[in-house]
Amino acid sequence: MPTRPRTFRPSSGPGSDADRKARTQAYDRRRRAETETRALYGTARWQATRREQLRIEPLCRMCLALDVVTAAIVCDHVEPHRGDVVRFWSGPFQSLCVPCHDGAKQAEERAGR
C-alpha cells in the first residue's frame, strides 16, 4: 500500500515544529490583545480621550501638512498600539480626518512602521 512521504521539518530553528508553534502562539496572543483593545474604543473613557484630542487639535494633521484645512473626526494613535493597553491609553494621539486615517495611515502601518 502506498504511503505519503513524510514532510521533512528541521527539529529546531526556523521551520521546526517548536518554531511554528511559538509563532502561532505569538500571533494568537497579539490577535487576542488587539480584540481586547478594540473593545476599549466603545468605552466612555475613550470617548473622553477622543473628545479632548479633537478639542486640542481640531484639524486633520495630515491634511494640514498639505496646506489643506479639514475638520478632524478621528483620534489616532501616532504609534500603532498593536493591542498594548498602556500604549492605547497613553498615546501620543493625533487628529485625522477619515480619508487620511483610512488611507495613508493604514498604508504606513502595512509598510511596517
User: Would you tell me which residues interact with Zn ion (CB under 5 A)?
Assistant: 60, 62-63, 70, 97, 100
**Kind of pairing between the strands at 74-77 and 93-96:** antiparallel
When the beta carbons of 63 and 75 are compared against Zn ion, the nearer one is 63
Q: Which is nearer to Zn ion, 49 or 94 (CB)?
A: 94
Q: Are 83 and 33 in contact (CB under 8 A)?
A: yes
Closest approach of Zn ion to the CB of residue 100, in Å: 3
d(CA 100, CA 106): 9
Q: From the centroid of its chain, how far is CA 42?
A: 16
What is the closest distance, in whole angstroms, from the C-beta atom of residue 97 to Zn ion in the complex? 3
**Considering beta carbons, is residue 10 or 103 the nearer one to Zn ion?**
103
Nearest distance in Å: CB 72, Zn ion? 7
Phi, psi of 53, rounded to the nearest 5 degrees: -60, -45
